[in-house]
Amino acid sequence: MSAMIEVVGIGDDGWSGLSEATRNLVGRADTVIGSPRQLDLLPSMGQQERRPLPSPLRDNLQSLVGESSRNTVVLASGDPLLSGIGTTLIKAVGREAVRVHPALSSEALARARMGWSAESVDVVTLVGRSTDRFLPFVTPGSRLVLLCSDGDGPAEVARLAVEAGAGTAQLTAWWHLGGQNEGSNSTTCAAWGDERTPDLVVVCLEVGVLDAEPQALGPAPGRADDAFEHDGLITKRDVRATALARLRPWPGQVLWDLGAGSGAVGIEWCLAAPRARTVAIERDPDRAARVTQNAARFGVSSRVDVHVTSTGAAVRDDDLPRPDAVFLGGGLDRDVLDAAIAALRPGGRLVAHAVTRESEALLHEVHRTHGGSLTRLAVEHLEPLGRFHGWKPARSVVQWCLTRPPRSKESA
């Protein structure tokens, strides 16, 4: 595409809030594309063509822009690259064909109203995404700015925060920031109730002391076993923390959790790194449902993709995203191990656990073939023994770890 697409951020104050240069840019455009609300903010400009954004947006945006005349402006809310159409357009037609002119974002306006510095805040977009994705950021003393899809967002945020033990957190909803209809409401999450706000709304959440157990908070792995719903099939916290230390979660990377059980390993993988994702494979439907419930409880439901199938079928499924890491917590099979190793991206990590002599023998076999490291993990817990106390050993686990070389024939 030879013509440049100009993406113009516009606030709730409309035409009056645009700079003179940006007004001239919009005025010279042959075609202006935006939501009906945004187009209504502009004055009439003669023969200028105005088009509403298509729905669904991603499927139709490239064709709409491609059909537009030479001078095209696309309107966006505030900062077009903050949960905005600017990002979508760049992915659709390429960075070289898009020029972005940001306005003051709703996030910046919300912080200004609250008196919060940028470095003291986590910004989480809930627009078009699962509302629970803000939960990993709910920690004592945190400040969150949440971009909501519509006026139901504040009530849903309040409900989830109460369930997470943050009922005393202060929730302030701001709507139509910077416009003539700007308004707000502030109370605790527990007191918010079902109140709906206008759709153009941003939530500011200030968290104090939590009722939740601190052992379930933060990015570090090794949450207590009872933080997860499970039927006994769960990688115990001490062994789980060791496994994740070797899996090394990285931002945006994909883990295959084969035989997910409760989903604890895959969920902690997601919590340990931004944008990290998990493909959870579990053949038992009840356990698979439990993985989904646990993922929602920790706010990573949009990043945990649960498949009800066998590990053997999963590792041969070409539709699954290629893994950066693989975890096998039990039920080992040589064919599955070989397929998982072959699927790993260069630099990928694999961790497999064995608790039986047979599965341990298999790990010794693949260790001789592929290398890596073998470790025996033995954990003991202090428990009452009559009037005294003694150490009770847990079942020992043999752990095999393998890292695929970062450079291979396919990446050379």
Structure tokens at 91: 């992915």
The confidence score (pLDDT) of residue 156 equals 97
**Four-CA torsion 203, 208, 214, 216, nearest 10 degrees:** -10
The confidence score (pLDDT) of residue 240 equals 96
Question: Which architecture does CATH list for 107-206?
Answer: 2-Layer Sandwich (3.30)
Tell me how far apart the alpha carbons of residues 412 and 396 are, in angstroms, rounded to a whole number: 40
Tell me how far apart the alpha carbons of residues 153 and 200 are, in angstroms, rounded to a whole number: 10
Instruction: Tell me the C-alpha to C-alpha distance, in Å, between residue 288 and each of 89, 134, 282, 329.
Output: 36, 23, 6, 15
Interaxial angle between packed helices 357-370 and 334-343, expressed in degrees from 0 to 180 and rounded to the nearest 10: 40
Pick the CATH number of 5-104 from 3.40.50.720, 3.90.550.10, 3.40.50.2000, 3.40.1010.10: 3.40.1010.10
Instruction: Tell me the C-alpha to C-alpha distance, in Å, between residue 124 and each of 37, 83, 195, 203.
Output: 24, 9, 21, 10
In this prediction, residues 396-408 reach a mean pLDDT of: 88
Q: Which residues pair with residue 145 across a beta bridge?
A: 123, 204
Pick the CATH number of 218-403 from 3.40.50.150, 3.40.1010.20, 3.60.15.10, 3.30.390.10: 3.40.50.150
Q: Which helix (H) or strand (E) holds 161?
A: helix 153-163
No. of helices (H) and no. of strands (E), the chain: 13, 19
Per-residue pLDDT band at 412 (split at 50, 70, 90) = very low
In this prediction, residues 213-218 reach a mean pLDDT of: 71
In this prediction, residues 71-100 reach a mean pLDDT of: 88
- What percent of the chain shows pLDDT beyond 90? 75
The confidence score (pLDDT) of residue 1 equals 44
